[in-house]
Amino acid sequence: MKRLGHPETPFPVGVEYYRAPTPKQECWDGDFARLRAAGFRIVRSHSYWNAMEPQPGQYELDDFDRLFDLAAQHGLSVWMDIMLATHGACPEWLTREYPDMRVVSYRGQRAESFASGAYPQGGAMHCYDHPAWREYGGDLIRHVVQRYKDRPNLLIWGLWDGINIISAWSRITDGCPCYCDYTVARYKAWLRERYTLDQLNERLLRRYGRWEDVQPPRSNHSVVEMLLYREFHYQNLVDHLQWMVGEVEALDPEHEVRAHGAWYPRPWDERCAEHVDSWGMSMPSSNLLTSEDPYRLADRAFSFDWSRSVGRNGRWWHEEIYAGMSPGGVVWSKQSDPRELTMLLWMTLATGGAGAMFWQYRPEYLSFEGPGYNLVALDGEPTARFRAAAEAIGQIEGLADHLPVTCPRAEVGVVYHPKSQELFTYNDQDDRFLADMRGVYRTLWTHGIPADIVTPGMDWSGYRLLFLPNVALMDGQTRERIERTLAESPGTRLVAEGSFGLYSADGQSSYRPPEGFAAAFEVRVADFSRVTEYDIAQGRNVVETPYGPATITTECGYAVLEPQGETTALATIGADTVGVRTADGRFTWLGFTLSAGFGDVGDPGLVLGLTAEAGVQPPVISAGDRVVPVVRRSRQGGWLVFLFNLEDRPAQATLRPRWRTVEACDLLRQSALAVSDGAFGVRLGPWATAVIHCIEQERR
């Protein structure tokens, strides 16, 4: 039976502490005492393979032994990372002994030793498809697990920090995968398990005469071929991750095993996350609330919901709240306001996180990450950020009886489609894809309408409304999910945005888009066009819709749609039809995205009009100054309403939940709120958070 969770608190907060060899051990005792006194429960190690095994089979881990000992003396748990893949160099003797272990770029260049702010003593340049990686890496995993698995204060094994295709970190590949002999051989073996040569030729539109002639693509312009090569690499990530998990669990089946991604979704996240006990992410924190657009904090909320969505049984951690600016060193950026850190901490709790970790406690003394991502100053003295984090931890501890929160399934889903993101990336439009997906989510979140992030691999039934931004590549799984949802979930409406079914499963442009649905939805793509700056200046930038006119303020492209049969026009730009709806009202396609022409923010008139039309209302109606409510179930019964004021001014609002509230208590102020006809008033300071416990009438 796995030990999931901290034995002493339902929402532990910790901090990354030790990246060998810093900070110096003379600091540890005082630092650990201060951390525990401030309410922190976990210290995390960020280990480097070349520091742990300087000679073959010679493991130098006395420092980690002391880390466990001293942490235990101060009542701190240890989060032990084993770095074999994305971060940090393998031992120098390993690449000396096996020079063909180095990553090879698409140009045939072999990686050389390099460094960065995150790993000043060497970055990962070794390919994990080389058999020596598993041979020696497996020895290290087994030694470390055997050495520490019985430590009473071991909490978590971190197995793959920032799981990624290794060559993307080598600085020579422009983000392309590895092309060493071992990777190419592994790819060809993968192909031969799935295709005959004739089938492969048909799949790739090639005329290979022999398997020896088959080569992986070396350009994203080879769309059809690169989709297949990347598919191999993503499954390859899964295979290597499963191997690491198996090595750990064979020796220690009890402790939590985890990995994490970035603060935005990536095409391999979902398939990797299912093989570990929990998932998570890291993210920058500085200059969010202090910027001209504090509501872009919704992008972080999106990443939290994404991690909860893919985490096994919804389990996820906020693994790295960057505790300051970056870069540091000889130049400086805008430092994080303490309230930016605490709001991210509260948002993690509100989104059902298993816990949160700060990155990092002391500055990184070996690189230009410091002074940067740190909670304390260069001399180890607390900053305002540390004091704010400690205060928030104390407040969260006071809510223990209500935790962990339960996140009910939302009525709205935003569909993330990994293969379409892949396609957009090949055309250098990855940022556009992410912005369009976050745009509609942001409008929902900031208006208090919860939304789940779902993929074609998940169950869509039961949602009232699903947004499908840029589901461009229509693979079989996605087509089946759409068909099944429409057939088996009669209360669900679909709204496709922008590029929808314009490409077939193999990456070719569809001859009859939307691929597989042109006849069923009775629509054809007549053309493509764009609203330009000139059009905006001339006033040719208004989308006419049933929800009112929407004015496009930034350049954006759109598909010109032609309704056929009983499908009708829903939206127009001048003489062009840019939105259609089927006769039954269950499928809508807008040939533009809801955010691309509106400053990357989902147009409120369109987003809220579509949600209201589907019968979706926010669980809490807020009047007065703008606050963002997030509603969760309390373990004590009733509801917890987390309120976030994202603006640099006090906020006063009246809240009216959809349930009949008879009692309301401000848990942070520990004061009852006056309830009148089911509504109550709240006051929040600038950039502040409140947590209100509401008791429903039937629970009184």
Long-range Cβ pairs for the range 241-246 (8 Å, 24+): 241/159, 241/160, 241/163, 241/272, 241/275, 241/276, 242/275, 243/134, 243/138, 244/82, 244/84, 244/141, 244/159, 244/160, 245/159, 245/275, 245/276
429 and 295: one domain?
A: no
Q: Which strands make up the sheet holding 256-259, listed edge to edge? A: 256-259, 154-160, 77-81, 42-45, 13-18, 356-359, 316-322, 279-283
**398 domain residue, yes or no:** no
606 and 624: one domain?
A: no
Model pLDDT, residue 174? 66
671 and 608: one domain?
A: no
Model pLDDT, residue 368? 82
CATH at 547: 3.40.50.880
576 and 591: one domain?
A: yes
Long-range Cβ pairs for the range 133-136 (8 Å, 24+): 133/84, 133/90, 133/101, 134/243, 136/53, 136/56, 136/90, 136/91, 136/94
667 and 596: one domain?
A: no
Model pLDDT, residue 699? 47
598 and 514: one domain?
A: yes
Domain span at 653:
620-699
**395 domain residue, yes or no:** no
**346 domain residue, yes or no:** yes
> Token pair of 393, please?
């931890």
Over the chain (700 residues), the average pLDDT of each successive run of 10 is 94 96 96 98 93 96 98 98 88 96 90 83 89 97 98 97 72 75 97 98 97 95 96 96 98 97 94 97 89 96 97 96 84 91 98 96 86 90 97 98 96 98 95 97 98 98 98 98 97 98 97 97 98 97 97 97 98 98 98 97 98 97 97 96 98 96 96 96 98 81
Contact yes or no for 163/86 (Cβ under 8 A): yes
Beta-carbon neighbour count of residue 387 at 10 Å?
13
- Taking the C-alpha atoms of residue 66 and residue 82, their distance in angstroms, rounded to an integer, is 17
Contact yes or no for 403/11 (Cβ under 8 A): yes
**406 domain residue, yes or no:** no
Model pLDDT, residue 331? 84
440 and 570: one domain?
A: yes
Contact yes or no for 269/237 (Cβ under 8 A): no
Nearest CA-CA partner of 356 in 403, 296, 409: 403
Q: Which amino acid is at 466?
A: L
Model pLDDT, residue 698? 66
636 and 523: one domain?
A: no
**386 domain residue, yes or no:** no
558 and 635: one domain?
A: no
- Taking the C-alpha atoms of residue 361 and residue 35, their distance in angstroms, rounded to an integer, is 9
CATH at 647: 2.60.40.1180
Model pLDDT, residue 171? 58
Q: Give the chain's domain count.
A: 3
Model pLDDT, residue 371? 76
Model pLDDT, residue 7? 94
